[in-house]
Structure 1
Amino acid sequence: MKIKALIIDDDEKIGSLLSKFFLGFDIEAKAITSPTQGLVELKDSPYDVVILDIMMPEINGLDLCKEIRTFSNVPIIMLTARGETLDKIIGLEIGADDYMAKPFEPRELVARIQSLLRRIARNEKPLGSNTLIAKDLIVNLNTREVQVENEKIQLTTMEFDILILFMEHPGKVLSRDEVMDLLKGVDWNVFDRSIDINISRLRKKLNDSSKEPRFIKTIWGSGYIFIQEVQKV
Structure 2
Amino acid sequence: MTQPHVAILDDEAEIRRILADALNEAGFRTSTFSRATEFEAALKRTAPDVCLVDLGLPDRDGLALVHRLALESGATIIIISGRAAASDRVTGLELGADDYIIKPFEPAEVVARIRARLRKSRPAPEAGGSVARFNGWEAQFDRYLLIGPDGADVPFSHAEGEVLRLFLDAPKRLISRMQMQESLGGAAGESFDRAMDVRISRLRAKLGEDPKNPRLIKTIYGAGYIFLGDVSWH
Alignment TM-score > 0.5, same fold: yes
Hey, what does 1:224 align to over in structure 2? 225
- SS of 1:28 mapped into structure 2: helix
- SS of 2:226 mapped into structure 1: strand
Partner residue of 1:75 out of 43, 49, 53: 49
Q: Report percent identity of matched pairs.
A: 22
How far, CA to CA, are the matches of 1:54 and 1:123 in structure 2? 35
Hey, what does 1:200 align to over in structure 2? 201
Partner residue of 1:28 out of 22, 32, 37: 22
The one-letter amino acid of 1:137's match is: W
Hey, what does 2:28 align to over in structure 1? 48
Aligned in 2, Cα 1:125/1:142: closer, same or farther, shift over 3 Å? Answer: farther
Structure 1: runs of 5 or more not aligned: 31-44
The one-letter amino acid of 1:129's match is: G
How far, CA to CA, are the matches of 2:127 and 2:231 in structure 1? 18
- SS of 2:160 mapped into structure 1: helix
Measured after TM superposition, the shift of residue 196 of structure 1 is: 1.7
- SS of 2:192 mapped into structure 1: coil
What is the TM-score of this pair, normalised by structure 2?
Answer: 0.66
Measured after TM superposition, the shift of residue 160 of structure 1 is: 0.5
Hey, what does 1:140 align to over in structure 2? 140
Aligned in 2, Cα 1:91/1:110: closer, same or farther, shift over 3 Å? Answer: same
Hey, what does 1:63 align to over in structure 2? 41
Measured after TM superposition, the shift of residue 47 of structure 1 is: 4.1
How far, CA to CA, are the matches of 1:218 and 1:4 in structure 2? 29
The one-letter amino acid of 2:63's match is: G
Report 1 or 2 for greater relative contact order, CA contacts < 8 Å, sequence distance ≥ 6: 2
Task: Tell me the number of residue pairs that the alignment of Structure 1 and Structure 2 aligns.
Answer: 198
Aligned in 2, Cα 1:219/1:130: closer, same or farther, shift over 3 Å? Answer: same
CA RMSD of aligned residues (A): 3.8
Q: How does 1:181-200 map to 2 (within 5 A)?
A: 181-183=182-184, 186-188=185-187, 191-193=191-193, 194-200=195-201
Larger mean Cα displacement after TM superposition, 144-153 or 83-92: 83-92
Measured after TM superposition, the shift of residue 177 of structure 1 is: 0.6
What is the TM-score of this pair, normalised by structure 1?
Answer: 0.66
- SS of 1:105 mapped into structure 2: strand
- Deviations along 1:74-107, whole A, 9 cap, x unmatched? 6331425432244543433xxx443538555346
- Deviations along 1:167-215, whole A, 9 cap, x unmatched? 11000010111011122xx333692221122111211121113422121
- SS of 1:50 mapped into structure 2: strand
Structure 2: runs of 5 or more not aligned: 56-61, 84-99
How far, CA to CA, are the matches of 2:172 and 2:28 in structure 1? 33
How far, CA to CA, are the matches of 1:5 and 1:75 in structure 2? 6
How far, CA to CA, are the matches of 2:69 and 2:177 in structure 1? 22
